[in-house]
């Protein structure tokens, strides 16, 4: 009678895997509880001003209609954009208000676009500064009317007249900018040149205002790896509530997706990048601009500035990563800890396979060369794409939201085809000169080393994404949890579930791990103007523009290389033996028998 089968290596790995996922699940639940408990409340509460407002809605409506009639097409670099600057300068000069003007050429796509800023500084008793900004160019929302897109400039002019007529505590800067929908091109240029930037404590921006009958305003709160501080969201919410307006903050899923894909829109992006607490208020959607709508929203904006002005020292810094509608927020530190704990299965299983796979140092050197043969082609392809961007073949937008630009979402098919062809060439050359074509170890050791190498590439890629941002890790969390399930062994069929499949490769697990990246791609295609065909080109533009930094593409390179390496690893069968005490464990493992194509021979019957 045979003794029970003893598969030491397989049993050990299965035990580690069960313990890994049990531990990982407990850690993940504890981490989620930690993040939930660590949701912070705003550090300070700004008292809402109860002083009367002096915003003139009728005057603002007349200015809105004049700007929309004279200069309806104020896109970046257009003649109407230049005319709008001259018109605004004439208005400020007629009011006798001193203003400053600056024209800067900023990189945008494959050329440099002129961005012209006009601003007014109203000194206060303190040097602490409140910045109020209103872009002159059209907002990104195509449903907003021309009057709604011209209203922010008119509101800005009226608020200048209101606050220039009385004393206040803080210095006020009113900025008329451009490129608000493109991540705040004008505001970014202003912050780079303004000599008193360090004294700016808060920035408030507006887009598309004045629709009649609105009950809410939408808030732009996301920035590069950070969000609007909770105290500013709380203050804006309470101020708008006095005007019977509700502040709509992007939900949790939208904030995570926008951060992971870098889909930033609104001028708060530029201010948050500079470390300044900022929020963008906008009235999106169709609607008729009336004096009633301007009266409600304009008075609320005046009260918001008055509340910030009347308060004491405003909080500095932007520690929020995700902000909720209540003003409570999740800090960047808590989110980073959660991202690190989500890597528990990948880290433990990688170490486990390194302990199980016993190879000599010279064998590991050969396998490291094989890993390099998968990493190098992907890295070289991305390098060629970066060089093509510097030569003007691919647009570059330098950390700005580019989804509104047609050049960013319209694929260049010749460049794309060239990159694909070069990628295949790089892969063939690297595999021929760097990788091994015929392994020297037995089949079991080779397959186990390939699996170990693939998991190691996965771990390195995930760690690189985590160093870039915990949001960059979000699309690949499914890989961190599903790839460690890959094993070189065909698990014995269970009598309780005989229908469970036992495939010989890891392809189905690798495909299942792509749920996360595909879900984010679907979000990008369905919720933006890129569409299904343009979404991948937009991601490429973001990569070569540097929106994901260096760690982002590097992490994606290692993940792709790990996918290719694991795709070629096969599962092995275990040879049933009575005992493995005196036998080398690896010799008891053999590859599955090759599939034999059975050909039925037709026999002729004799008549």
What is the pLDDT, as a whole number, of residue 445? 78
More confident residue, 45 or 514: 514
More confident residue, 436 or 554: 554
Q: Taking a C-beta distance cutoff of 8 angstroms, is the pair 235, 207 a contact?
A: no
What is the pLDDT, as a whole number, of residue 137? 87
CA–CA gap between residue 373 and residue 430 (Å, rounded): 5
CA–CA gap between residue 544 and residue 383 (Å, rounded): 9
Report the Cα–Cα distance between both ends of the chain, in Å, rounded.
Answer: 53
DSSP label of 40: B
Q: What is the pLDDT of residues 359-369, one digit of tens each?
A: 777 778 888 88
Q: What is the pLDDT of residues 415-461, one digit of tens each?
A: 999 999 999 999 999 988 888 767 677 777 788 888 889 999 999 99
CA 49-53-56 angle, to 5 degrees, is: 155
CA–CA gap between residue 534 and residue 524 (Å, rounded): 10
Mean pLDDT of 290-308: 94
Share of the chain above pLDDT 70, in %: 87
CA–CA gap between residue 452 and residue 447 (Å, rounded): 9
Q: Residue 298 — very low, low, confident or very high, per pLDDT cuts 50/70/90?
A: very high
Provide the residue count of the chain. Answer: 607
Mean pLDDT of 121-149: 88
Q: Which of 39-48, 53-62, 492-501, 592-601 ranks highest by mean pLDDT?
A: 53-62
Q: What is the pLDDT of residues 395-427, one digit of tens each?
A: 887 655 555 566 777 888 899 999 999 999 999
What is the pLDDT, as a whole number, of residue 578? 38
Sign of the C-alpha dihedral, residues 119, 60, 69, 179?
positive
603 pLDDT exceeds 60? no
Mean pLDDT value across the chain: 84
Distance from the Cα of residue 521 to its chain's centroid: 11
What global pTM score does this model have? Answer: 0.84
CA–CA gap between residue 90 and residue 286 (Å, rounded): 31
Collect all residues with Cβ–Cβ distance below 8 Å to 392 and sequence separation of at least 6: 110
Mean pLDDT of 523-539: 86
191 pLDDT exceeds 60? yes
Share of the chain above pLDDT 90, in %: 42
More confident residue, 447 or 581: 447
Following DSSP, what letter does each residue of 420-451 receive, concatenated? HHHHHHHHHHHHHHTS-SS-SS-HHHHHHHHH
194 pLDDT exceeds 90? yes
322-326, 542-546, 596-600: segment of lowest average pLDDT: 596-600
Burial 522-531 (b: 16+ CB within 10 A, else e): ebbbeebebe
Q: Residue 575 — very low, low, confident or very high, per pLDDT cuts 50/70/90?
A: low
Q: What is the pLDDT of residues 475-512, one digit of tens each?
A: 999 999 999 888 777 666 667 767 766 777 788 889 99
What is the pLDDT, as a whole number, of residue 15? 73
Q: What is the pLDDT of residues 462-476, one digit of tens each?
A: 999 999 989 999 999
594 pLDDT exceeds 70? no
Q: What is the dihedral of CA 521, 524, 530, 533, to 10 degrees?
A: 10
Give the three-class secondary structure for 604.
coil
- Token couple for 7: 């598969």
Using CA atoms, how far residue 488 sits from 8, 64, 483, 485, 585, in Å, is 14, 69, 12, 10, 14
75 pLDDT exceeds 50? yes
What is the pLDDT, as a whole number, of residue 595? 52
9-13, 146-150, 375-379: segment of lowest average pLDDT: 9-13
């Amino acid at each position: 009678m045979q003794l029970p089968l003893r598969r030491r290596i397989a049993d050990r790995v299965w035990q580690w895997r069960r313990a890994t996922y049990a531990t990982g699940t407990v850690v993940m639940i504890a981490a989620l509880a930690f993040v939930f408990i660590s949701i912070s409340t705003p550090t300070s509460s700004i008292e809402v001003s109860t002083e009367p407002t002096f915003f003139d809605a009728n005057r603002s409506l007349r200015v809105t209609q004049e700007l929309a009639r004279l200069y309806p097409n104020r896109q970046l670099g257009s003649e109407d954009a230049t005319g709008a600057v001259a018109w605004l300068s004439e208005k400020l000069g007629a009011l006798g208000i001193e203003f400053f003007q600056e024209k800067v050429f900023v990189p945008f796509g494959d050329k440099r676009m002129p961005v012209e800023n006009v601003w007014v500084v109203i000194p206060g008793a303190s040097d602490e500064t409140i910045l109020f900004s209103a872009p002159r160019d059209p907002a990104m929302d195509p449903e907003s009317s021309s009057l709604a897109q011209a209203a922010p400039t008119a509101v800005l002019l009226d608020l200048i007249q209101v606050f220039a007529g009385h004393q206040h505590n803080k210095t006020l800067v009113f900025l008329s900018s451009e490129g608000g929908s493109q991540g705040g091109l004008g505001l970014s240029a202003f912050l780079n040149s303004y000599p008193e930037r360090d004294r700016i404590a808060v920035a408030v921006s507006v887009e598309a205002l004045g629709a009649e009958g609105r009950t809410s305003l939408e808030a732009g709160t996301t920035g590069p790896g950070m969000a609007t501080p909770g105290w500013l969201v709380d203050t804006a919410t309470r101020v708008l509530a006095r005007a019977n307006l509700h502040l709509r903050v992007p939900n949790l899923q939208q904030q995570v997706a926008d951060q992971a894909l870098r889909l930033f829109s609104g001028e708060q992006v530029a201010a948050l990048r500079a470390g300044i607490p900022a929020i963008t208020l906008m009235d999106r959607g169709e609607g008729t601009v009336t004096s009633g709508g301007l009266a409600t929203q304009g008075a609320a904006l005046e009260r918001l500035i008055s509340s910030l002005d009347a308060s004491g020292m405003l909080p500095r810094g932007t520690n929020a990563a995700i902000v909720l509608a209540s003003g409570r927020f999740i800090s960047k530190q808590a989110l980073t800890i959660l991202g690190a704990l989500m890597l528990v299965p990948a880290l433990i299983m990688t170490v486990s396979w390194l302990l199980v796979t016993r190879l000599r140092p010279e064998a590991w050197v050969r396998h490291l060369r094989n890993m390099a043969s998968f990493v190098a082609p992907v890295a070289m392809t991305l390098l060629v794409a970066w060089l093509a961007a510097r030569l003007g073949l691919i647009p570059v937008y330098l950390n700005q939201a580019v989804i509104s630009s047609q050049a960013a979402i319209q694929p260049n098919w010749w460049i794309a085809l060239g990159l694909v062809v070069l990628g295949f060439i790089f892969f063939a050359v690297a595999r021929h000169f760097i990788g091994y074509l015929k392994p020297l170890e037995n089949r079991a050791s080779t397959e186990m080393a390939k699996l170990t190498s693939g998991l190691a590439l996965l771990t390195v890629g995930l760690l690189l994404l985590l160093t870039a941002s915990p949001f960059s890790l979000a699309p690949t969390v499914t890989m961190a949890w599903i790839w460690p399930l890959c094993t070189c062994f065909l698990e014995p069929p269970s009598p309780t579930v005989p229908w469970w499949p036992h495939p010989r490769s890891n392809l189905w697990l690798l495909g299942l791990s792509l749920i996360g990246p595909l879900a984010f791609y679907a979000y990008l295609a369905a919720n933006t103007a890129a569409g299904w065909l343009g979404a991948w080109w937009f991601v490429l533009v973001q990569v070569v523009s540097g929106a994901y930094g260096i760690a982002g593409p590097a992490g994606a390179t290692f993940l792709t290389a790990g996918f290719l390496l694991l795709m070629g690893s096969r599962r092995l069968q275990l040879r049933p033996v009575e005992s493995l005490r005196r036998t080398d464990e690896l010799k008891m493992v053999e590859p599955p028998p090759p599939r034999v194509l059975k050909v039925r021979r037709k026999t002729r019957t004799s008549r």
